[in-house]
Amino acid sequence: MSRAQRLLDLIQILRRHRFPVTGTQLAEELGISLRTLYRDIATLQEQGASIAGESGLGYVLKPGFMLPPLMFSEEEIEALVLGSRWVADRGDDRLAAAARNALHKIAAVLPADLRESLDTTTLLAGPDQSKADIDTGLPLLRSAIRNERKIFLSYKDGKGQISQRMIWPFALGYFEHVRVLIAWCELRQEIRHFRSDRIEAFEVYDLRYPKRRQALLKEWRAKEGITTDRI
């Protein structure tokens, strides 16, 4: 393992711990000696990392530190590029532009060798032949989710029946050929899923729904048996 990669791994380990972690534990996880660990800690501190603590007591990384030259490993870069390419091909215009802009910003802070990895990665996102339900309404739905606003929805089910309902949107699932709005439905008094291509019309109300979206998301995950490491 290169020293640069080791420093990156050290930063990542410290980020996982909210409370001080001993030098011995850090050294064991990295597979290095305590002396090497102390040198690495000092190097990171010299580069601006706000690492509090000292040998024998433990170390903790205060929030907010970024280390641009060591921000991503090569595989992390590949994951970012692949994900951004998928979004750029399948997202609505605003989300696609945001994905491309994010890659440009990442490239701007990477050192030359990692920037070359970003530019030359051969992981590709296959084209979406259907381009189903990519419409101008998706940005407004995302805004309603971020701001926790109620939506009055006119929705057509699989049998062609149209209903009107007030919902509390808290997530938007992007599948290969369809987008699914996940929301608490006041009519059904439960969490329901709404395909965006079946939404006939909707209006975002300037009315905040009573629950926080993270609480609704947690409730949905528990209902669906989805662990946090999957989403």
Domain that holds residue 32: 3-68
End-of-domain residue from the set 52, 68, 84? 68
Name the pTM for this structure.
0.66
163-218 pLDDT, tens digit each: 999 999 999 998 877 899 999 999 999 999 999 989 999 999 999 999 999 999 99
Domain assignment of residue 52, yes or no:
yes
Provide, rounded to the nearest whole percent, the portion of the chain with pLDDT above 90: 41
Q: Angle, to 10 degrees, between the axis of helix 34-46 and the axis of helix 3-16?
A: 80
127-170 pLDDT, tens digit each: 665 555 445 689 999 999 999 999 999 999 989 999 999 999 99
Dmax (CA) of the chain: 70
Q: How many domains does the chain have?
A: 3
Domain assignment of residue 230, yes or no:
no
Same domain (yes/no): 20, 31:
yes
231 band by pLDDT with thresholds 50, 70 and 90? very low
Domain assignment of residue 9, yes or no:
yes
Nearest Cα to 49, choosing from 34, 35, 61? 61
Instruction: Specify the pairing of strand 190-195 against strand 199-208.
Output: unpaired
Q: Return the CATH number at 196.
A: 2.30.30
